[in-house]
Each structure stands twice: as C-alpha cells, then as structure tokens.
Amino acid sequence: MKKRYEGKTKDVYELEDGNFLLKFKDDVTGEDGVFDPGANTVGLTIEGAGRAGLKVTTLFFEKLKERNIPTHYIASDLENTTMTVVPATVFGEGLEVICRYRAVGSFLRRYGKYAEEGQALDSFVEVTLKDDERGDPPISKDALEMLGILTSEEYETLKKLTIDISEVVKEELAKKDIELYDIKLEFGRDKAGDILLIDEISGGNMRAYRKGEYIEPLELEKILTAE
C-alpha cells in the first residue's frame, strides 16, 4: 500500500487494485488547542474523532448510494477507521462547494450589509478555491471557466449535485429535529471524466442548529450516529 498524500485529518493510500484508501485520523483542525472545523491547521488530537467522522460519512454516503447519486464511496471499515474509495482527480488544486440554507459564517461576513444573521437562503450554492495561503477565496462561475478549472457544463452539474446531496443531509438532520444551515462538499472527476462527490461528510463539514442553538461537530456526530 502506497501513501499518496498526508492530509490534515486523513491520509490517502493507493491500493493494489488502483482504488484509494482514506485513513481517518484523530487529528482535528483548530487553533491553540480549540477545535475549529474551518481552520487550516491541525490544532489538536481527540480520541475517537476519526471513527466518529467515518461513521457519519458512511451513513450519508450509504443514503446517497440508495438515491443513485454518484460518489467515490465503495466500503468502510470502522475497525480500522478506513474508507475504500474510487480515485478521483480534483478540479484545479481542489474546490469546495457550499450550499447555504441560512445566512451565517463567511456569507454573513461578506454580505452583512444586505443580509441579516440567520436569514433564510434558498439552497444557495457557492464555490471556493482550496487555497490555504489565500484563505480559500470564493470564485464565480465565469472565473472558474476563464481560468480553465472547470467547464460551464461541469459547473451546472456540480451545482445540481450539491443541491441534491445537501437536501439528503438536510432531511437526515431534520429527522432529529436539527436544522442544517450550511454544508461544504468536495467533488472530483473519475477515470471516465464523470463528476463524483469525494472526501467526507462529517460534522465538521456543516453547521447545524437545534432551536436556534449551534451544535458542535462532535456533538452533532454523536446525535446522528445514536441508535
């Protein structure tokens, strides 16, 4: 097994059959020992964080499979905290696609002149570049096309998939009386060039609230995986 990439929260291995193996680690992002899913550095290690993230990710990827939504998911091994996935190539050096149902976070920081905190948004999709150095800047459809990161057709596919996937997550949370405010997804192209959801869908990828109160990622994962 060859290690392809050492990420902040996961390591990526190449299996003999060509598939990839994602090893979920207990490292979480944050600063000064405080967990912050939006941070770009590993801040601390929390025992069991890797397994909890994998459990939630598996739950959502199984739901997506039932609905024939294309993802990289093949199988999970909770014992070894690994997930076998289809290898993908990312757009440029990686994009994040966000779907927003309520105005919080960076949306509010940018558009606070025109939006109120917690204001309802209609599955609003936006794309950011994975670029730690530049603070993951938002990028428009035109700029993505102009810079050769993706085609206009691919953008539309990405947008539609993001809305469909986010809706599945939103419904799942709603079953536990939790409201999804926003969620961040990653996509890639498979060997045939088809677009797939990749990476993970864990507590740190979304903001969730119950009766207007924010639920921390680890607490959210506990609630979602409780029998």
Ligand X SMILES: Nc1ncnc2c1ncn2[C@@H]1O[C@H](COP(=O)(O)OP(=O)(O)OP(=O)(O)O)[C@@H](O)[C@H]1O
Q: Which residues sit at the interface with ligand X, rule CB under 6 A?
A: 5, 7-10, 12, 20, 72, 85-88, 90, 94, 130, 186, 188, 198-199
Least distance to ligand X, CB of residue 193, Å: 14
Take residue 5 and report the two structure tokens written for it. 């990439």
CA 12 – CA 107 distance, rounded (Å): 31
3-state secondary structure of 123: strand
When computed from its CA atoms, the radius of gyration of the chain, rounded to whole angstroms, is 17
Least distance to ligand X, CB of residue 98, Å: 13
Least distance to ligand X, CB of residue 103, Å: 23
Strands (E), 137-222: 138-139, 179-189, 195-198, 206-210, 213-215
Contact 56, 225 (CB under 8 A): yes
Take residue 110 and report the two structure tokens written for it. 């940018």
If phi > 0 it is left, if psi is from -120 to 50 it is alpha, else beta; for residue 109 that is alpha
Closer CB to ligand X, residue 96 or residue 167?
96
Closer CB to ligand X, residue 131 or residue 179?
131
According to DSSP, the residues that pair with 90 across neighbouring strands are 188
Closer CB to ligand X, residue 103 or residue 136?
136
Least distance to ligand X, CB of residue 94, Å: 5
Closest alpha carbon to 17 in 2, 29, 38, 39: 2
Least distance to ligand X, CB of residue 13, Å: 10
Closer CB to ligand X, residue 37 or residue 155?
37
Closer CB to ligand X, residue 63 or residue 210?
63
